[in-house]
Structure 1
Amino acid sequence: MSENYKFFSNKKCEFFPCHKVDDTENFNCLFCYCPLYALGEKCGGNYRYSKKGIKDCTLCLLPHKRENYDYIINKFNEIVDIVRKK
């Protein structure tokens, strides 16, 4: 199986790439807005908090790496738990 569903790169997007990277050929746009943001410190990415307490993910490439698709999908149960509590 080719697993093409795990990767999408939109090179025509006016924001491409949205992070500084050396390898634009493997920049994954599938998770343009990171579904792990809501997990806060449990997301597993490279983030920091601003002085105002806002999560800043500008240095994080976790959702944009081809090989991290399965990691993100496996975190969906944690996201569902957050939504279920509200």
Structure 2
Amino acid sequence: MAGRIVRWGAALGFGALWWWSVLRLALVPDAGVLEGAVAAGGWGLSLLPVHCMPKARAVGSTGSGRWRVVWQESRRRRAERGGRARPAE
């Protein structure tokens, strides 16, 4: 229960800080680098959860240790189509 309160408190606190910086940038003519850094950093962090997903749930992802097999298979297919492929090492 205490962990949940701390997380919500941190989220609300950082959210309020971000809105303060965005509104200050928009409304106050002498807003500076600090407000811009806070606003840009908060916006960048908001993109992070969209792109984070466990590899097992990601559609079309290649499992760990399979990159070499996939790469060799793509080279083999390219060679069959007549494309240039370097010899396997």
Global fold match (TM > 0.5)? no
- Structure possessing the higher relative contact order (Cα contacts under 8 Å, 6 or more residues apart): 1
Select the structure of larger CA radius of gyration.
2
Comparing both structures, which one devotes a greater share of its residues to strand? 1
| TM-score, with structure 2 as normaliser | 0.28
